[in-house]
Structure 1
């Protein structure tokens, strides 16, 4: 015998569950992440936690209101170049092997709909923390980027994840167009016009990265020659070298990460023996709100590679960096700095 009342009750209950799922935005969908994993995530994601600064910055460019927290505090002077919604976000740490470790309790309290793990494919850090992530009961996905060119694909994947395909397509296209323009310009520059470059890190300038390290990728990308030619010991890089070795390298250009070192390099008698210092071809890498070159590597490299081309090849690549920086900050960061502010960002 049929039970029509029970059947109707089940239909009403099923319909109610559908309405509830829609109201709570928890209707599931499957997405394949960049590690090839099939992951069930909510159809509409409103809250996301990122495991590392490069990924946090990617989400910042896509939609900063998605972020439930930061990996470490915003750098001094950086807030005015970031959306206001980020200014009061809690610092939750991260899973990237250095600096602030992830505060699991605070992450759980933040209630992210998804956790985005990311970095180079060669890093073992994400796998190291996978057991911890599985215990949280929050879906997590992987996004990978080993080179600057990979950011276009990373944007595409995150666009799918967050249902922001139109936005990420625009960001990815900007990067793709810039890299194509750089490649064409570099091809036309004679080999004898491409300088030998030293990337000076740390407060004394005596840490650097190998030419094969993704940390120093922009040097290769612009056709210059990284004087520190070697294979990286690990993904963290920033290898210590002696001042005597720098003297032997005698670079034609020095790129400086730390402002403290930049302020003293021209006054130091030892460093003045080096060609780049004598000829005043020492450049402080812009770092507001995020570094344009490295530490951490991010989509800011799309702008950083243009800045570096301008520094090394002004006769071949005479782009107006004040204008380009303003356009970049408006597109990627949603802020409109004045020319005076941009000049301070680039030239200190």
Structure 2
């Protein structure tokens, strides 16, 4: 290639490179999607952020992964078993309660007593959450940021919030892990035609009769991992109760849950034997500690659940064969995201559902 041709090529590529750099600076996900949904108040410089109040559970896990020393406390209740699987700084944090959503438990007076430099929320960014974030900022004077939190957004989410919290390097490291999980799911989806994807039901609760409809963030891993959510036939929405009669009509090929008692019971319950997943014993319970691998909360904690679910929906798939042993992936994820060094027996207990 001549010098003139090289210059011409560089000039043609320059606008694209500049656009990519500007998108990254704004915190955009691949394809130009901006994960920052709303900002209220004047945000502090990253180096001045010392204390962050997580408005809800997904934001709590996000801040814990990126800047554990800056998280004020947990917006969700964590028992001793969950805390034992976290690094020492996170294990000792108090319970602050949640600020966002209909189940808010934090009065604004209490929020002011925590004196955070920044209030952060993450998750399904609908109009209700945006108006709630605006109200918090206007009534307290605290800068507030709302971040989009779908599974495909997690890499951009980690980079963006890492920069906001003065943890850009850690954000890049964790974003790379998120990209690997997202890419793995993408390869499987690309290789399995929609009509050949297994029909899956996600059973929530002790009776397994709560699930998510089409579009619900709580069940988005099902489609993301090349499955077909049977409850999507009931329309779009969020969480809903269903009947066993409806489940018999849907006849899922695979049932997944995070409730170990339900998973054990359904395999021996004669009322469920008419469902293909039960007859074929394709009922799988994902770990729920310290946070759910499928949901609970629907945050970056689900990244380890991507491979878990892919292996249950598509056992033996070529994209999964060359990966490191799953127990090692679990150990590495807990070290990277939660600062916890799990012993081999702790990993085994997680995977066995004990």
When the two structures are superposed, what TM-score results if normalisation uses the length of structure 1?
Answer: 0.84
1:71-124 deviation line (CA, Å, top 9, x unaligned): 122144111111222333232212332445223333222211111123222251
Tell me if the contact between 2:100 and 2:132 (Cα under 8 Å) persists in the aligned partners. Answer: no
Give 2:65's aligned residue: 61
How many residues end up aligned between the 2 structures? 314
Tell me if the contact between 1:95 and 1:126 (Cα under 8 Å) persists in the aligned partners. Answer: no
Gaps of 5+ in 2: 1-25, 28-34
Tell me if the contact between 1:201 and 1:238 (Cα under 8 Å) persists in the aligned partners. Answer: no
Give 1:302's aligned residue: 303
- What SS is found at the alignment partner of 2:42? strand
Tell me if the contact between 2:174 and 2:337 (Cα under 8 Å) persists in the aligned partners. Answer: yes
The one of 114, 136, 139 aligned to 1:135: 139
Tell me if the contact between 2:40 and 2:144 (Cα under 8 Å) persists in the aligned partners. Answer: no
Give 1:181's aligned residue: 184
Tell me if the contact between 1:117 and 1:126 (Cα under 8 Å) persists in the aligned partners. Answer: no
Give 1:343's aligned residue: 348
The one of 197, 200, 205 aligned to 2:203: 200
1:212-265 deviation line (CA, Å, top 9, x unaligned): 3222111111211111124333xxx22011110001111110011322312311
Tell me if the contact between 1:211 and 1:220 (Cα under 8 Å) persists in the aligned partners. Answer: no
Give 2:77's aligned residue: 73
- What SS is found at the alignment partner of 2:256? strand
Q: Provide the C-alpha distance between the structure 1 equivalents of 2:65 and 2:312, rounded to a whole number of angstroms.
A: 26
- In the TM superposition, what is the alpha-carbon distance from 1:190 to its structure 2 partner? 5.5
- Which range moves more in the overlay, 273-282 or 310-319? 310-319
Whether 2:198 is the aligned partner of 1:170: answer no
The one of 17, 28, 34 aligned to 2:36: 34
- What SS is found at the alignment partner of 1:112? coil
Whether 2:321 is the aligned partner of 1:331: answer no
Q: Provide the C-alpha distance between the structure 2 equivalents of 1:205 and 1:278, rounded to a whole number of angstroms.
A: 17
1:123-158 deviation line (CA, Å, top 9, x unaligned): 51341353243221222122222x211111211221
Gaps of 5+ in 1: 1-30
Whether 2:156 is the aligned partner of 1:159: answer no
Give 1:13's aligned residue: none
Which runs of at least 4 in structure 1 moved beyond 6 Å after TM superposition? none
Tell me if the contact between 2:83 and 2:91 (Cα under 8 Å) persists in the aligned partners. Answer: yes
Q: Provide the C-alpha distance between the structure 2 equivalents of 1:231 and 1:55, rounded to a whole number of angstroms.
A: 28
Tell me if the contact between 1:69 and 1:92 (Cα under 8 Å) persists in the aligned partners. Answer: yes
Change beyond 3 A, Cα 1:175–1:107 = same
1:211-226 equivalences under 5 Å are 211-226=214-229
- What SS is found at the alignment partner of 1:78? helix
Q: Provide the C-alpha distance between the structure 2 equivalents of 1:281 and 1:212, rounded to a whole number of angstroms.
A: 24
- In the TM superposition, what is the alpha-carbon distance from 1:272 to its structure 2 partner? 1.9
- In the TM superposition, what is the alpha-carbon distance from 1:283 to its structure 2 partner? 0.5
Q: CA RMSD in A?
A: 2.1
Change beyond 3 A, Cα 1:100–1:212 = closer
- Which range moves more in the overlay, 151-160 or 90-99? 90-99
